[in-house]
Structure 1
Amino acid sequence: MTGVASTEKAASTKKKSERKCATKEEYRQLSSIMGVMNNLRKQGTLCDVTLVVQGKHFPAHRVVLAAASHFFSLMFTTRMMESMSHEVELRSAEPEIIELLIEFIYTARILVNSSNVQSLLDAANQYQIEPVKKMCVEFLKGQIDATNCLGISSLADCMDCPELKAAAEDFFELHFTEVYKLDEFLQLDVKQLTHLLHQDKLTVRAEAQIYDAAVRWLKYDVCNRQRYMVEVLGCVRFPLVSKTFLSKTVQAEPLIQDNPQCLKMVISGMRYHLLSLEDREDLGESSRPRRKKHDYRIALFGGSQPQSCRYFNPKDSTWTDIRCPFEKRRDATAVFWDNVVYILGGSQLFPIKRMDCYNVLKDSWYSKLGPPTPRDSLAACAYIWPLYDTVVVCV
């Protein structure tokens, strides 16, 4: 029986190997055929259609174009006039771009760069050449930055590229505080602006930045945009704006002072700060928080030398001492969660039982009960437990 099983296994392995070889051979054969077809195209041999773009002529084979493009498939396989014409004019197209697309159809090779990507995406979308469209989308996703994310989002809308639009909007939401200060933000129309300012995922330090963005957009062309004041400032969640900022900055803004409806929004925001927690919950959307923007820093705790705790800020490459009232530990570990650093384990003369906690925002220290068994040289991580709050797991 063992011999039979071994024989069957060997036969199965051979078949798999043969299938792989066949696939590679098929690929080489298809590549060879398309290489011959491309040479015939370049020589004008057996070509049965010529694409005409701004006076330039591109001979091709209908069957190849139809196989690569649903647009050309419909054109050549239905009763459209072009199905019988030897020449087909492509209006509103660029000769260089059509040449690149034809070359891709025959060779599966194309160079996408910053100079041609928009034109290629437009043509690939129009002529329904999906692989090129996908390559353009991937290229543009890699080019998104603060100066162009809004423009790329608009382009994605026009070209029906939801994946690209989502990537551009994700970037905008994450880098909102940089983008709204640039000129591209000021060119948005009111519909685009309000759509973006309503998003819960905008990353801000405070709601006052949403207010600042809204007022900046209004003042860029105050004569024509003043009529949109209620609509635009309605995107600001005034209950989330600090009472001091509301009274000193917002109420003093001339645009708001001259508009009773906007003034009413501000007063509602100030009243929010006087409400109980139960009453605040009833306000719903107007008091829904945004995504918070944080500075990420690298902290140092413990070590064998009696030095102070420190953190490193990558933003400005500076080190800052952290006042620590507790004795230093050796072979400890630290976990960061929700603006608190939890320091566990480690030892001085004996293993330390307690867990020391440092609140980054309040710059304050406190202690909690540590692991049941004190130990050093341990590892720990923060984990969101499905049924409970976040927990610290030690191993």
Structure 2
Amino acid sequence: MAPKDIMTNSHAKSILNAMNSLRKSNTLCDVTLRVEQKDFPAHRIVLAACSDYFCAMFTSELSEKDKPYVDIQGLTASTMEILLDFVYTETVHVTVENVQELLPAACLLQLKGVKQACCEFLESQLDPSNCLGIRDFAETHNCVDLMQAAEVFSQKHFPDVVQHEEFILLNQEEVEKLIKCDEIQVDSEEPVFEAVINWVKHSKKEREASLPELLQYVRMPLLTPRYITDVIDTEPFIRCSLQCRDLVDEAKKFHLRPELRSQMQGPRTRARLGKHQRSAYQNGWERVWFNVFCHLAGSE
């Protein structure tokens, strides 16, 4: 009978459990991690096997290589305890309360499994009220997949996202990045225009000068003539800015001079790629022109 290699599923788990028991009884430990004046006995070989950070520390010529005690800066003792539990058990307990400390600590110590667990947890927590903050948090810690997931979420739920404080507190560049995006899902450009106006109104003195720059990313030609004349024309911020008035006039011209539309094609006349916007743009011209003529007739 030919020899056969047999793989068992319990060996690795059994070793981890044994090493964790040794750690907790401070048996065969050859290094102590000190965090916030609290000591954590551990085994160098286990730490080095799980973390490139510790591997470099214990195998290079760094001063910590042979020290019995190693001070770890930049994380709390409670976080260190969670991370060590992961190293020895392959299990990490992520919560709303600890994830903001746990993810940076995992990045610092290069514990990829904890970082992945934190990112998956945060992705499951995405909400219109927090997606912009999670996106920035992910970008800070180079969590590319989480950052992309948060960005897609903010695009998909744009009308709800702009109702929350995170949007209002964005700087001009961040607002611009969001509203110029083709992928935001809106039934019309109305929530985009209203988001810009509300952002400006939140801090009038500091933000009023930014309105013309931001308004150029609102696709006003795609709005109905009734909304342009009844809402945008009556907005004081618009009436007080020549640049804003020029953008409004462009939208009116797009509706009133159909023979010129081919010459006016550009970013402001391109439909968003959201689920309803394109069909509304393509199929709604009969209703749009009915509104135009009703408005013109009523003004005479």
Shorter chain as denominator, the TM-score bin is 0.7 to 0.9
Shift of 1:279: 3.4
Shift of 1:276: 3.3
Shift of 1:30: 2.2
TM-score, structure 2 normalization: 0.86
Query: Matches of residues 332-371 of structure 1 in structure 2 within 5 Å?
Result: none
Alpha-carbon contact 1:280-1:287 (below 8 Å) kept: no
% same residue: 35
Higher strand share: 1
**CA RMSD, Structure 1 to Structure 2 (Å):** 2.6
Which of 26, 50, 59 does residue 68 from structure 1 map onto? 50
Aligned equivalents of 1:277 and 1:152: distance in 2?
46
Partner AA of 1:126 in structure 2: L
1:81 aligns with 2:66: no
1:54 aligns with 2:36: yes
State the structure with more CA Rg: 1
Alpha carbons of 1:233 and 1:278: their partners in 2 closer, same or farther (altered >3 Å)?
A: closer
Alpha-carbon contact 2:34-2:72 (below 8 Å) kept: yes
Partner AA of 1:264 in structure 2: D
Partner AA of 2:150 in structure 1: A
**Match in the other structure for 1:393:** none
1:159 aligns with 2:141: yes
Alpha-carbon contact 1:52-1:87 (below 8 Å) kept: yes
Alpha-carbon contact 2:33-2:42 (below 8 Å) kept: yes
**Match in the other structure for 2:111:** 129
Alpha-carbon contact 1:272-1:280 (below 8 Å) kept: no
Aligned equivalents of 1:206 and 1:160: distance in 2?
34
1:39 aligns with 2:5: no
SS at match of 2:70: strand
1:192 aligns with 2:180: no
Shift of 1:218: 0.6
**Match in the other structure for 2:121:** 139
Alpha-carbon contact 2:132-2:167 (below 8 Å) kept: yes
Which of 206, 213, 228 does residue 224 from structure 1 map onto? 206
**Match in the other structure for 1:110:** 92
**Match in the other structure for 2:298:** none
Aligned equivalents of 1:76 and 1:227: distance in 2?
56
1:99 aligns with 2:66: no
Alpha-carbon contact 2:254-2:260 (below 8 Å) kept: no
Shift of 1:151: 1.4
SS at match of 2:10: helix
Bigger Cα displacement from structure 2, 190-199 vs 272-281: 272-281
SS at match of 1:273: helix
**Match in the other structure for 1:28:** 10
Alpha carbons of 1:361 and 1:278: their partners in 2 closer, same or farther (altered >3 Å)?
A: closer
Query: Residue by residue, what CA displacement relative to the aligned partner does 1:18-66 show, whole Å, maximum 9, x if unpaired?
Result: 65xx32x2x4222222222222211222222211111111111111111
Aligned equivalents of 1:139 and 1:176: distance in 2?
22
Alpha-carbon contact 2:254-2:264 (below 8 Å) kept: no
Partner AA of 1:152 in structure 2: I
Aligned equivalents of 1:81 and 1:273: distance in 2?
73
Which of 150, 154, 166 does residue 168 from structure 1 map onto? 150
**Match in the other structure for 1:326:** none
Alpha-carbon contact 1:230-1:262 (below 8 Å) kept: yes
Aligned equivalents of 2:231 and 2:285: distance in 1?
25
1:150 aligns with 2:166: no
Bigger Cα displacement from structure 2, 110-119 vs 194-203: 110-119
SS at match of 2:234: coil
Shift of 1:128: 1.1
**Match in the other structure for 2:101:** 119
Aligned equivalents of 2:51 and 2:112: distance in 1?
8
Higher helix share: 2
Shift of 1:186: 0.7
Partner AA of 1:120 in structure 2: L
Alpha-carbon contact 2:74-2:105 (below 8 Å) kept: no
Partner AA of 1:77 in structure 2: T
**Match in the other structure for 2:293:** none
Which of 228, 234, 237 does residue 252 from structure 1 map onto? 234
Query: Residue by residue, what CA displacement relative to the aligned partner does 1:216-236 show, whole Å, maximum 9, x if unpaired?
Result: 111011111123222221221
Partner AA of 1:132 in structure 2: V
Alpha carbons of 1:232 and 1:77: their partners in 2 closer, same or farther (altered >3 Å)?
A: same
**Match in the other structure for 2:251:** 269
Alpha-carbon contact 1:257-1:263 (below 8 Å) kept: yes
**Match in the other structure for 1:285:** 267
Q: Which has the higher contact order (CA 8 A, sep 6+)?
A: 2
Alpha carbons of 1:278 and 1:225: their partners in 2 closer, same or farther (altered >3 Å)?
A: closer
Aligned equivalents of 2:70 and 2:230: distance in 1?
67
Unpaired stretches in structure 1, ≥5 consecutive residues: 1-10, 295-337, 340-358, 363-395
Shift of 1:293: 5.5
Alpha-carbon contact 1:206-1:292 (below 8 Å) kept: no
